[in-house]
Structure 1
Amino acid sequence: MNPVVFAWRNVWRSRRRSLVTMAAMSFALLMMILYTGLVAGYMGGLERNMLDLEMGDMQVFAPEYKRDPSLYTLIEDPGGLLAKLDDAGYPAAARLIGSGLAAAGDASAGVELRGVDVTRDKSVSEVYQHVIKGAWLDPAQPQGVVLGGRLARTLAVSVGDELVVLSQASDGSMANDLFVVRGVLKNIADGVDRAGVFMTADAFREFFVVPEGAHQLIVRRPPARELDAAAAEVRGIAAGESVQTWRDLMPMLASMMDSITGAMLFMYGIIYMAIGIVLLNTMLMAVFERVREFGVLKAIGVSPRGVLTLIMLESLIQALLAVAVATLLSIPCFAYLTTAGIDLTAIARDISVMGLALDPIWRAEVGLGTYLYPIAMMLIIITLAAAYPATRAAVIRPVEAMRHR
């Protein structure tokens, strides 16, 4: 008889035990698949917020800027560098950065002023899509500014209100001007939310008397290029300037994201070890109950390898059925988790990780790895768990087995 057919029949000889075992495997696998998808969604959301809203893939500075940020430490020819990056296929935009004091009525707060090229900045950042009140910057209204949400609440201002900003210009004079709140951002990062003031690059230059240069270039890489390779290419283009990837700029966050993969494998190990113990116990019971049967099989000429193969096939059939059930059950679960997601607003209205805001709706992301890794690890654990009882059955001596009661 075909060993696969024989193994299939053996699985259903003890229907209740097989169903309980497969149900346990299906449940564990389903939980691991959903867990993998939710972790991928968490990681993807965190990385998107970091790259699309705040950091970019890389940033270019004047050599001394990160060590000692100063209004006077500038990239001298940002226009030429932007043109070279465009030619190489790297979207980039220049930004100007300064600090000051903002006041409205009786309230005041320290602020970080960011001058942006409204047109180019949209190719590297999606900040403009996160205005919850009013509108984003408009070059036609240079006195308009966009504030972080918490800063707007601190100053008790809203769209249309006036804002006085004070600082020191690059020529040593007192910089002060009256701006109009054009928009308010939702929380994208703690620093922006607490102290961020966005203005047009022209307004920044006029306010701080900075006619040329830029403090920072935000650079995005093409999707097909790895980060390290892209950074090496940009360093070649921006020779003489400091080029840092987001991993260089936020090493703790990069380390945390790397460690999550290890934590996920650890979770797999714990859950699947429990399933492995259940399967080991089930298979040992099955072997013990079928000692006489294995003795007869060996007596009629079935080799030890044949008995081993039979037991392993029985385990594999149960595992594959569990995979099929878990995969089918995951489809409606992911249909919900990728669209509606899990609403965490009841726990916390604003959620941030290392200063980066997260969407309070936790959605899953599904890819090949969402299924591949949990299934592969489960099959490995099940194979290892079934190996011992299968080996025990394979080495049974026919005479002793047929005397077994």
Structure 2
Amino acid sequence: MKSDRPKVLHEVANRSMVGHVVATVMAVGATEVAVVVGPGRDDVAREARTIMPEAEVFVQRERLGTGHAVLSARAALEKKPDDVIVVYADTPLVSAETLVALRRPLAEGAAVVALGFEARDPTGYGRFIMAGDQILDIREHKDASEAERAITLCNGGLMAIRGDVALDLLDRVGNQNAKGEYYLTDIVAIARLQGHRTAAVTVAEEEVHGVNDRAQLAAAERMMQERLRHAAMAGGATLIAPETVFFSHDTKIGRDVVIEPNVVFGLGVVIEDHAVIHSFSHLEGARIAAGAAVGPFARLRPGAVVGPKAKVGNFVEIKNSQLGAGAKVGHLTYLGDATVGPEVNIGAGTITCNYDGFGKYRTEIGEGAFVGSNSSLVAPVSIGKGAYVGSGSVVTDDVPQDALALGRGRQVIKEQWATAFRQKSLEKKHK
């Protein structure tokens, strides 16, 4: 990855790859999770525990292969769980449905189940050596014969193992291969030699897409976004140009929502029914109520709440602020740390001056108030219900209900001043 970050902490749809995998494992009801990390990788362990705090962490001191990595969690295997599922933190697209399917043959009598796929180009992948519906062996590419390399049914990496035999099978794995490593895949042949049944479950190649470099990370992002877009549309949202909309893994979208082209969703966004998100808007940590409209070119930052049928227009930024039902913030405005009541109108160029270099302060705007264009509201300050703020005002004191606040210099008119000025300037120029 050529990165200061561990590979599995790189993100897909704003969640780390290891986070995706742990969340999927939890979604299928895993009661215990063992995370195997390299030496000094407390950051990976912490990330896994943000998803499942009870996860046990084990350190693989030496990189001696996938079988050795699994045996690093020996203490977890010694508990003889019902089933053991081995997943990889750099394979973030595997679905919960696939993990359920992977376990199913165990309940039907198999001891080992491997996940495979039909490869468009099998070069580099382990091959499934099949006999009927059972796997006889998984042959790594470097160890495969020419005939075996012609096989296109390849190893996707994930495995399910019956808990009562898992440790025994893993302890029998040797390292007599081209790499001198302990391959997890060897347990298939070992299980067969001991008279156990084996089985294969197949998925589309895209689902077992692994990430080893930035290009593969981008491909994983593309595939994840396609899933999220299809899920949004299946749930009743209209995406006018789906390929231009980017979701987070946790974006929640209601029915009859319309999302125009070139919209980006960060973490923690909820959009309720019948809302419209116009083009070129960026939302993060925001909640958009039913029937509201946002954008185009709007930026909603964490803590932004847009009430029912409220409107946020172009070049408006909102942070940690709540807009009441029917409120309108048309354009060129910044609202930070503010509470805006129902049916308030905020004129163009208005800003809440919420930060003095040390602390943040709130602005309160009452129901039905009208704030004229190009106004600065210096927090902490409140604008009463139904009050007016004249255009161009700097408001530093609270405005009572139904009052008019003017905080600007008095306009002075000097008749014929411009004529005299031009004449004087021309005389200077020609001297």
Flag whether TM exceeds 0.5 (same fold). Answer: no
| Larger relative strand fraction | 2
Q: Whose RCO is larger (CA < 8 A, sep 6+)?
A: 1
TM range (shorter): under 0.3
TM-score by length of 2: 0.25
| Larger relative helix fraction | 1
